[in-house]
Amino acid sequence: MFRRTILSTAAAGLVAAALAFQPAQAADTIKIGASAPKTGPLAGGAATTQWPNVRLWVHDVNSRGGLKLKDGQKKIELIEYDDRTTPGEAIKNIQRLATQDKVDFILAPFGTGFTIATAPIFNKLGYPQLAVSAITDKIPALTKRYDNIFFMLGSTTTFTNSVVDILKKMKDDGKIGKRVAMVNVADAFGIELANAARPVFKKAGFEIVYDKSYPLGSQDLSPVIKGAKASNPDAFVAWSYPPDTFALTAQAKINDLNVKAFYTAVATAYPAFKGKFKADAEGILGAGGIDPDTPALKEYFKRHKEVTGKDADYWASAVTYASFQILEQAIEAVGTLDRKAVTEYIKKNEFKTVIGPVKYDNQNSARYWTVGQWQGNKFYGVSSRGRPGAKAIIEKPAWNK
């Protein structure tokens, strides 16, 4: 009796050990983790560009039967957390996804600051980080330090140069003067853009007559706009995040800040921006843009609405979805859930996406839109690096009364 018990226990131990050492591919599903804001100041932005595209991608993959691996096709099991617009919470979520939920891959977080804050933990845990909603001049340093991080939206300097180039052409054509009012949200995104813009404006012959930052989550931005108007600018530039993009534009209309070149950054491309400001959105410049008239993007916009019930925006939505397509194609090409092999594949290959071909050079995509503008009912790209189809810019008309 005692001998049989020992043998049964030993056999059970061998079975448990065998199960423990089974490869991840043997699971019925592929676990994908996601952490982004559902609450806090950036929740609205993530609810527009991040979360709908996470769900659209999971839907699209699973409706095709899942990701194709060497040992069969497996559907995605999504595990998601709210980072509450707090970097510390984002880091805890990534750790939890990796160590407790034991997910196979983790989608990049939302926002420049969160991308940079979580980069060390992504690298330490060995997960590829396809950073999509991040703009920074730290790309060379970050990619040198972390061999698993990839960028898709370009650098701070490229963005500021594109905005200044557009304003300089308007100045040279006699459409605006040289006085610029510039404001920025006081986080990694806004501070870096403002710092990069100051010498570029000066070199282009502009005078920054108003230079003001404001805290992330500021509720009342009327003093900022009143100060900008008092400086009598010819152009207004805001390195802004979604809540302040809306608030600054609303206050500019209320306070009758009329300039022929009006730029707000993230969220200018949102359908909700056009919905709120209607005809007053005409001519407003903003971050990003796309060529929405390509067949691939027309189909993407249609499917996004059908599956999520929401309209995609005219910049980061499609780029976010494209980053998931890249991960999908790399996993299927490798045929396993070997994260290191998937990372290496992403480094070396070109991918077909809804925004066109994407290929990384030193872990950074060289083709992206930088500035867009509302013209009619669409937000068209008017400046890019390597993307065709840019529209000619128009002057912003005065606010409607």
Predicted local confidence at residue 217, as pLDDT: 87
Question: What 3-state DSSP class applies to 161?
Answer: helix
* pTM score: 0.86
Tell whether 300 and 240 lie within a shared domain: no
Q: What is the mean pLDDT of residues 142-149?
A: 98
Place of tokens 């420049």: 112
Handedness of CA 79, 83, 87, 89 (dihedral sign): negative
Judge whether 280 lies within some domain. yes
* 19 has pLDDT over 80: no
Share of the chain above pLDDT 90, in %: 90
Q: Which residue type, as a one-letter code, is found at position 253? A: K
Residue 361, phi then psi, degrees to nearest 5: -115, 110
Judge whether 394 lies within some domain. no
Check: CB of residue 388 under 8 Å from CB of residue 285: no
Rounded CA separation 209/201 (Å) = 11
Predicted local confidence at residue 100, as pLDDT: 98
Judge whether 397 lies within some domain. no
Within 10 angstroms of residue 321's Cβ, the number of other Cβ atoms is 25
Predicted local confidence at residue 401, as pLDDT: 79
* 2 has pLDDT over 90: no
Sequence-ordered list of residues with C-beta below 8 angstroms from that of 345, at least 6 positions apart, any chain:
330, 333, 334
Domain count for the chain, please give it: 2
Q: What is the mean pLDDT of residues 179-206?
A: 96
Q: Which residue type, as a one-letter code, is found at position 351? A: F
Which 8-state DSSP code applies to residue 390?
Answer: P
Q: What is the mean pLDDT of residues 158-185?
A: 97
Judge whether 188 lies within some domain. yes
- Across the strands, what pairs with 210? 181
Judge whether 270 lies within some domain. yes
Tell whether 62 and 45 lie within a shared domain: yes
The CATH number covering residue 201 comes to 3.40.50.2300
* 15 has pLDDT over 90: no
Instruction: Tell me how far CA of residue 56 lies from CA of 32, 52, 78, 218, 318, in angstroms.
Output: 14, 6, 12, 32, 11
Rounded CA separation 139/360 (Å) = 12
Could you report the per-residue pLDDT of 241-280, keeping only the tens digit for each? Answer: 999 999 999 999 999 999 999 999 999 999 999 999 999 9
Judge whether 8 lies within some domain. no
What order of strands is seen across the sheet that includes strand 67-69?
A: 67-69, 72-82, 29-36, 105-106
* 5 has pLDDT over 50: no
How does residue 27 score in pLDDT terms, banded at 50, 70 and 90?
confident
Q: What is the mean pLDDT of residues 152-178?
A: 95
Within 10 angstroms of residue 60's Cβ, the number of other Cβ atoms is 16
Judge whether 19 lies within some domain. no
Could you report the per-residue pLDDT of 298-345, keeping only the tens digit for each? Answer: 999 999 999 999 999 999 999 999 999 999 999 999 999 999 999 999
Q: What is the mean pLDDT of residues 356-382?
A: 96
* 7 has pLDDT over 80: no
- Letter string b/e over residues 156-178, b meaning 16 or more CB atoms within 10 A of that residue's CB: bbbbbbbbbebbbebbeeeebbb
Place of tokens 């699973």: 62
Rounded CA separation 317/54 (Å) = 10
Within 10 angstroms of residue 9's Cβ, the number of other Cβ atoms is 10
Could you report the per-residue pLDDT of 60-79, keeping only the tens digit for each? Answer: 999 999 999 999 999 999 99
- Across the strands, what pairs with 179? 207
* 17 has pLDDT over 60: no
Tell whether 122 and 171 lie within a shared domain: no
Which 8-state DSSP code applies to residue 26?
Answer: G
Predicted local confidence at residue 201, as pLDDT: 98
Predicted local confidence at residue 24, as pLDDT: 38
Q: What is the mean pLDDT of residues 180-194?
A: 95
How does residue 12 score in pLDDT terms, banded at 50, 70 and 90?
very low
Q: Provide the domain limits for residue 74.
A: 24-155+293-368
Rounded CA separation 64/349 (Å) = 23
Share of the chain above pLDDT 70, in %: 94
Judge whether 11 lies within some domain. no
* 121 has pLDDT over 60: yes
Q: What is the mean pLDDT of residues 39-67?
A: 96
Tell whether 197 and 279 lie within a shared domain: yes
